[in-house]
Structure 1
Amino acid sequence: MTRYIFITGGVVSSLGKGIASAALGALLQARGYRVRLRKLDPYLNVDPGTMSPYQHGEVYVTEDGAETDLDLGHYERFTGVSARQSDNVTTGRIYQTILEKERRGDFLGATIQVIPHVTDAIKNFVLSEVEDVDFVLCEIGGTVGDIEGLPFFEAIRQLGQELGPDKAVFIHLTLLPYIPSAGEMKTKPTQHSVKELRSIGIQPDILLCRCDRPIPSDEKRKIALFCNVRQESVIEARDVDFIYEAPLEYHSQGLDREVLHHFRMTGAPAPDLEKWNDISARLRKPDGEVRIALVGKYTVLPDAYKSVLEALQHGGLANQVKVKTTLIDSTPLDAENADLSVLDEYHGIILPGGFGERGAIGIMRAARFARENKIPCFGICFGMQLATIELAQNVAGLKGAGTTEFQNPDIPMVGFIEEWARGNAVESRSQDGDLGGTMRLGAYPARLKEGSKVAEAYGTLDISERHRHRYEVNVNFKDALEAANISISGLSPDGRLPEIVELPNHPWFVGVQFHPELKSRPFEPHPLFASFIHASMKYSRLV
């Protein structure tokens, strides 16, 4: 029997519903249960693919090519369960689906309304493709009271009634602020948030209370009385030093126990938390520190590089070192007189993905600085393309090399590709087509060059990685690059699309067209990130 856990939030956004959902999923997994995690986003965009990183953070891409909310990255990293297209839905997609049906006449002339048509579509999404799991955890984006979230709250209210308490539980995440001048922890925001939730027909069963200190027993009792929950179901959601300690913290507070209590699952096995304890020990007792400079365009919002930052930490876990990453805005480095000596203090430089001309010259200069000073350098997607242009201009002698993305170069080193193979099918797009969902998205295979650094890191010659980009390195310049000792060490199986570029005579200089950070896990660090951090340790003389 599949049981459903609905996670909502109140008071303010960014309280950590995604981490809480992922941590609870990991705890249920540790008890031997199969889990699936889903995100219901109330915004009107069809997906986050065309949203600015400044507003939304990174776009997380699934194996099957869905552009999704970054919380799905948390879900995958904590549980190891690969997300699908069906694990993230927005108001925009719900309405798009309904309106397409209406235009076809599928509703037989009925008046289309929020109830029942929109709420039914949301419920169908929640209930679909869950035959093989014990628990489905559904996180509802935003906070209770948001106008755009009302159809989602109504849908899960209906599901709570239809499924019954034996198959549905409601968890509400709120804030318990501490007011230093009063010397008190205030419960009123939580009371008001629960009142708002109850006004639309949802009684939470468990409260997760974000706080920076223990909740006094009197305050727990007060919250339980005013919010109509068991006192044992008022769970501290304390700040943790490392997000991968969240499952341990939630378990110590009894979150998984309370969920199982609600479902009357008294015979549930105890959780095996050995791997989480091991991760905690590694994080707390590193053998040293490496400093990494992330030179990118969206450094104002660190969430724009969430998976990259996490993958760097995973690389540190693989090498038993702490990774201290500093975000450096590439835009000031565009200037002719830009001082690149700021990069001298770092043991490795990573050039992440992005779009557009702003900051591109700065990323290329950072790549050149890493190349000339023998600093380990890792270019990802846009970073790989710009590093390749820099190599073409300054190593291969192709002075006019550039990209058609934001200029008309004499030599189109990076350009728009109209069609490519995906398995036995051909996918295509047009230069002036829609931006949303038209990139090369999802998992694609690649073949590595024997004896290359990347082949050594992977331990195999055949790989599959997730992509998200509209432009490709032009394979027609492969011979010119390799004549200058610039190795195209990874290609698509048909040999048309360069996937990896590396410098054989450099300690570690690798650029990849795909996004390896999307497949990195704390228990399975991505081999390229592990190798990059190891090279950075060598540069810092830690090894």
Structure 2
Amino acid sequence: MQTNYIFVTGGVASSLGKGITTASLAAILEARNLKVTIMKLDPYINIDPGTISPMQHGEVFVTEDGAETDLDLGHYERFIRTKMSKYNNLTSGQIYSEVLRKERRGDYLGATVQVIPHITNAIKERIIKCAKGYDIILVEIGGTVGDIESLPFLEAIRQMAVDLSRRHTMYIHLTLVPYIAAAREFKTKPTQHSVKELLSIGIQPDVLICRSNQAVSINTRAKIASFCNILDKAVISLIDVNPIYNILFLLESQNLDKYICQYFKLQVPLANLSEWKKIVDTEAKPIDKVTIGMVGKYVELPDAYKSVIEALQHGGLKNRITVNIKFIDSREIERKGVELLKSLAGILVPGGFGSSGIEGTLISTKYARENKIPYLGICLGMQIALIEYARNVAGIKNADSTEFSPDCKYPLVVLTSSHILNEDKKQYHNETYLGGTMRLGSQQCKLIPNSLVRKIYNTDIIFERHRHRYEVNNFLLKPIEEAGMRIVGRSNNRLVEIIEISDHPWFIGCQFHPEFNSTPRYGHPLFTAFIKAAHEYQKNSQKSFT
């Protein structure tokens, strides 16, 4: 069967939820037994978001094959079963660098290299490559229609309707329809102007998804359809919903998936959304709630920890427990002390880079260890746990990371390239000008018997995703292990992957990022166990108090 292409654009304003909407629609189509994938086109000139500050871009989502991608790919993996790869995220920087490399090699035979056809052809080639083997690919174009930097992408997807035939291409435009309370009416002019902008470059949308804070009336939808030259049934109202999984039912109730299947002439069964119905029902009927403290330095912008937040919620779903996340700036702990950590059922220290706020994470980790509070340290959080334990339990006062103190006397955590064998450097090498090495993507870890994590995972071998430049220094671990810290998981080349403390009810640190493998349907073993432990701690604390 020939692949069908759905191109999703956004208009009027950013942050309308284009990524979540695209992922939700993909989930409905997947539930109709269609093989679906999603691709994100980002107009920025960076090669990837790996060097962009989390304050500007949010988290970097890492795929199994080690690509650093846009956080929307995390939404895609959480909503559909298809695993994302380096081919599912394309930036302007990647396209321009590829075209320039070809030009330097002489591939264009002396031709003048231009946006059309060379840039647009490169974009189309990447989209077609990503779509191979799928019934439907949804391609989300980042930014807002009218942005100068998005024009090459829009021109490329316009051309694809000609190259592939209009019957196998569909354009969906997500737009804002504001409701003016004082006038008691919806305003359609922003949508009309946004569609006019699309038409000016040759794209006629087939579907309009209208975002508003309340359901767009039938009359308003008919007016939009008339002015924008599309069918009434192709104007979809999308309001704010909680939980976000209700978006699937909102779109399906308006027959958007039926309209798409009819458009592409697909003979497929109705969508089976029973799994998603179970998730929504479970979230609506929790048996209890817990408060988890997330201690980091980007907490004022939660998108920086998007996958961690989602994974905590998934852990709550698996336990039928509502998870309230208290975002705590580690620098505030340095100023105000452990009072900010009181009344927490669990403490999580996520990944991060740089020395800012490190003292606050050390204080938090010590507090969790000494007070037997469930603790989960991820990447940096694991390294912090080791340093804190080395200093305060093993008695190694000058233990540190060379990331924070390059000339420290006891470098417990060091740059990857400075302590692994030469043949391993190639495996972790990342072609950037920052740091020289980066360990990326899914890698194998072997768990030891009779450990808590072995019981949690219920398997000897696991595969988890990494994103870091610093590793634990194996040569300095002996006194720390003798003091009671257990190394319970290692990579194939003996790098430390997981630690735990035997005399603590639930204290686990992992070098990898388990949040990237968590989904609402399946959760993740570590997060499910962490929330369960937090709930047990909370119950026991309440008993002690009474």
TM (norm. structure 2) is: 0.96
Letter in 2 for 1:329: D
Q: Distance in 2 between matches of 1:428 and 1:494?
A: 12
Letter in 2 for 1:148: E
Q: Distance in 1 between matches of 2:437 and 2:20?
A: 30
Q: Distance in 1 between matches of 2:186 and 2:165?
A: 35
Q: Distance in 1 between matches of 2:308 and 2:363?
A: 21
- The match for 1:393 is 391
Matched-pair contact (CA < 8 Å) for 1:221–1:231: yes
Q: Distance in 2 between matches of 1:379 and 1:425?
A: 25
Deviations 1:262-313 (A, max 9, x none): 2233x33111111010000011111110110100110111100000000001
- The match for 1:466 is 465
Q: Give the 3-state SS of the residue equivalent to 2:77 in structure 1.
A: helix
Matched-pair contact (CA < 8 Å) for 1:49–1:437: no
1:478: Cα distance to partner? 2.3
Letter in 2 for 1:322: T
Matched-pair contact (CA < 8 Å) for 1:478–1:488: no
1:261: Cα distance to partner? 2.5
- The match for 1:51 is 52
Q: Which of the residues 339, 347, 350 maps onto 2:348?
A: 350
Q: Give the 3-state SS of the residue equivalent to 1:291 in structure 2.
A: strand
Deviations 1:398-446 (A, max 9, x none): 110001012121100100121758999843659x961289410001111
Aligned residue pairs: how many?
Answer: 538
Matched-pair contact (CA < 8 Å) for 2:429–2:439: no
Letter in 1 for 2:241: V
Letter in 2 for 1:54: M
Matched-pair contact (CA < 8 Å) for 1:421–1:427: no
- The match for 1:534 is 532
Q: Give the 3-state SS of the residue equivalent to 2:245 in structure 1.
A: helix
- The match for 1:9 is 10
Deviations 1:361-417 (A, max 9, x none): 111111011111111010000111111111110011111000101212110010012
Matched, 1:271 2:271: yes
Matched, 1:442 2:449: no
Matched-pair contact (CA < 8 Å) for 1:49–1:436: no
Deviations 1:342-364 (A, max 9, x none): 21111001100000011111111
The equivalences for 1:74-153 within 5 A come to 74-153=75-154
Q: Which of the residues 510, 513, 519 maps onto 2:511?
A: 513
Deviations 1:186-223 (A, max 9, x none): 11111111111111110000000011211111101110
Q: Distance in 2 between matches of 1:428 and 1:323?
A: 35
1:109: Cα distance to partner? 1.1
Q: Distance in 1 between matches of 2:138 and 2:53?
A: 27
Q: Distance in 2 between matches of 1:196 and 1:71?
A: 25
Q: Distance in 1 between matches of 2:416 and 2:173?
A: 46
CA, structure 1 residues 279+436, in 2 after alignment: closer, same or farther (shift >3 Å)? farther
Q: Give the 3-state SS of the residue equivalent to 2:157 in structure 1.
A: helix
Letter in 2 for 1:255: L
The equivalences for 1:201-280 within 5 A come to 201-265=202-266, 267-280=267-280
Q: Give the 3-state SS of the residue equivalent to 1:427 in structure 2.
A: helix
Matched-pair contact (CA < 8 Å) for 2:471–2:496: yes
- The match for 1:177 is 178
The equivalences for 1:275-354 within 5 A come to 275-335=275-335, 338-354=336-352
Matched-pair contact (CA < 8 Å) for 1:50–1:436: no
Return 402-411 or 40-49, whichever deviates more.
402-411
What is the alpha-carbon root mean square deviation over aligned residues? Answer: 1.8
- The match for 2:456 is 457
Matched-pair contact (CA < 8 Å) for 2:62–2:467: yes
Matched-pair contact (CA < 8 Å) for 1:443–1:467: yes
Deviations 1:96-137 (A, max 9, x none): 101111111111111110000000000001100433210011
Q: Distance in 2 between matches of 1:260 and 1:218?
A: 26
Matched-pair contact (CA < 8 Å) for 2:428–2:440: no
Q: Which runs of 5+ in 1 are unaligned?
A: none
Q: Distance in 2 between matches of 1:240 and 1:522?
A: 16
Matched-pair contact (CA < 8 Å) for 1:235–1:254: no
- The match for 1:41 is 42
Matched-pair contact (CA < 8 Å) for 1:282–1:320: yes
Q: Distance in 1 between matches of 2:31 and 2:440?
A: 32
Matched-pair contact (CA < 8 Å) for 1:165–1:263: no
Q: Give the 3-state SS of the residue equivalent to 2:477 in structure 1.
A: helix
Letter in 2 for 1:508: W
CA, structure 1 residues 260+96, in 2 after alignment: closer, same or farther (shift >3 Å)? same
Q: Distance in 2 between matches of 1:456 and 1:478?
A: 24
1:259: Cα distance to partner? 1.3
Percent sequence identity over aligned pairs? 51
Matched-pair contact (CA < 8 Å) for 2:328–2:340: no
CA, structure 1 residues 290+82, in 2 after alignment: closer, same or farther (shift >3 Å)? same
Q: Distance in 1 between matches of 2:232 and 2:432?
A: 56
Matched, 1:158 2:162: no
Q: Distance in 2 between matches of 1:445 and 1:113?
A: 44
The equivalences for 1:340-379 within 5 A come to 340-379=338-377
Deviations 1:471-501 (A, max 9, x none): 0011112221110010111111232x11111
Q: Give the 3-state SS of the residue equivalent to 2:214 in structure 1.
A: coil
CA, structure 1 residues 433+84, in 2 after alignment: closer, same or farther (shift >3 Å)? closer
Q: Distance in 1 between matches of 2:307 and 2:456?
A: 20
- The match for 2:66 is 65
- The match for 2:33 is 32
Letter in 1 for 2:467: R
Matched-pair contact (CA < 8 Å) for 2:88–2:130: no
Matched-pair contact (CA < 8 Å) for 2:428–2:438: no
- The match for 1:523 is 521
Q: Give the 3-state SS of the residue equivalent to 1:279 in structure 2.
A: helix
CA, structure 1 residues 429+483, in 2 after alignment: closer, same or farther (shift >3 Å)? same
Q: Which runs of 5+ in 2 are unaligned?
A: none
Return 511-520 or 209-218, whichever deviates more.
209-218
CA, structure 1 residues 68+394, in 2 after alignment: closer, same or farther (shift >3 Å)? same
Matched-pair contact (CA < 8 Å) for 1:65–1:85: yes
Letter in 1 for 2:278: D
